[in-house]
A and B are shown apart, each in its own frame.
Chain A
């Protein structure tokens, strides 16, 4: 499937070329009461890259994603996405400016079918007014059909045709993760945040998921930021890696560089002080 033949990703060109700055966060500090989750972290994500965030448990990785998509509001620092600087992001702003995400513990709409879950991902793409929506008539019906096409394409792409109508709550974990990826893709994001997309998967499922991530990145040019514990996966997938430990940034660079970084090794293996 060629990206140009596809209905997917027909977002008008936003003027940011591949390799240019898409997002940068500056001096972010986040605390919950007395607990410092993130301390003065800055990093950037370039358009078209796969950016990994790694670190031991409790290092602040998920908190960082939550800051980027507006679930948490940092006490200090700014977030700049597509040139727009914000003190705090709101979830709706994040979603409507092109950031979508998946969750560490799958957060699907459990009672709804795979199809409806992915359709829900297109919420912000549906523009026809409320009145038509209510009667499911006229322009709204055409619109629904248009969106169904895109959703079917995503279902094809993720190879989940066989579970289109199944309530997602009943699916095995690996498939749920895939549906969740589908829902995130349905928004045609500029930046896709994946929180441990491979957690709890077996080897085969991990390979499938890696393949999907690479294809999303290469075919649609979607920029991806992912948190992952499996070092093998990170080293294979990521263009650049940032390392957090106890809420501080201790390393940032190409996978090989990070792998050789002594602070990083210390954080992962433990070191005598």
Chain B
């Protein structure tokens, strides 16, 4: 009875009595949700184009952030460093295509997947070699990102909005919108879907796999850079950041590996879900710390009952 009360009554009483706490939690859920969406988007792009789960997406986030901070440390102005970093991500996309993907055409997906694991370790090594292993501060202020906070009074309490969070949400939104339009409405988008469906057939109509791959890896690199900046602004630029990419896994399972809207909705569901659950159910009943596993439980349920995710392409197979 006590437990039922804790599950079905107490949380809602608390929500009603402390609306500011609820709003604060929702806001935090929204902010981490947009960032999860952004990370998941990087995966979706590459998965759509090459049917491969890019294990290296997490380290690409770290590598992009490190490059930005590293170039800035050389005395380059912040915005110039940003553009140079975008250039480096382009170069990375080009190199990955040249050295890895090009040689993997028509290989089984698992081989491509393995090669992205290899790429992860190369990038870790390269990052440490060039920039060193110690954590660095993100150049938030130099990039013109706001750092203050606003307070909003609600029902006797106060909700705090960090300005960097607002900026992160806006940038994530714009980036997602831009990519969604680019990949859904243009010829490149059609070519991208064609490549995802069938390599050989795509080649036979004259779609250049190489070009498509460079484009999507470059797009994924830019997404990684944005994620890196936003995430590191809240903590540090360090190799530990790459584990945030793991959070994208449940998001992908939820939203579907091939769907851009899925990545967005999945990210938000996980973001809201884990914050609300932890505050109202996890902490009182389980003693807290649920944020680290809540998303994975949700993903597990989805795998059982709806393996293609909310928006994923249903597997069509004629037998």
Contacts and interface: CB of A to CB of B under 8 A. Distances in A.
A133 B186 contact: yes
Interface stretch (A14-22, A33-41, A43-51, A91-99): A91-99
B23 interface: no
Contact of B207 (A100, A123, A130, A140): A123
A95 B200 CA distance: 12
A58 interface: no
Contact of A112 (B181, B194, B200): B194
- Interface range on chain A: under 10, 10 to 19, 20 to 34, or 35 or more? 35 or more
Nearest to A99: B204
A119 to B, nearest CB: 6
Interface string A143-184: 010000000000000000000000101100100000000011
Contacts of B182: 134
- Interface range on chain B: under 10, 10 to 19, 20 to 34, or 35 or more? 20 to 34
B192 to A, nearest CB: 11
A83 interface: no
Interface stretch (A5-13, A102-110, A238-246): A102-110
A108 B188 contact: no
Contact of B191 (A101, A120, A186): A120
B151 interface: no
Given A108-B197, A109-B198, A120-B194, A95 B205 contact: yes
A196 interface: no
Contacts, number: 89
Contacts of A86: none
Interface in B151-182: 181-182
Contacts of A167: 316
Nearest to B313: A111
A109 B187 CA distance: 14
Output the residue of A116, A123, A130 with the most chain B CB within 10 A. Answer: A123
Contact of A170 (B185, B258, B316): B316
Given A108-B198, A108-B201, A169 B316 contact: yes
27 contacts: A69-B204, A91-B204, A91-B206, A100-B204, A103-B204, A107-B200, A108-B197, A108-B198, A109-B197, A109-B198, A111-B196, A112-B190, A112-B194, A116-B190, A116-B193, A120-B205, A123-B191, A123-B205, A123-B207, A124-B205, A133-B186, A133-B187, A167-B316, A169-B316, A170-B316, A184-B204, A184-B205
Q: Sorted from nearest, which 10 A-B pairs have the closest CB atoms?
A: A95-B206, A107-B201, A109-B197, A169-B316, A124-B206, A91-B203, A109-B194, A120-B194, A133-B186, A107-B198
Interface of B: 181-182, 185-188, 190-191, 193-194, 196-198, 200-208, 258, 313, 316, 318
Interface of A: 69, 71, 91-92, 95-96, 100-101, 103, 107-112, 116, 119-121, 123-124, 126, 130, 133-134, 136, 140, 144, 167, 169-170, 173, 183-184, 186-187
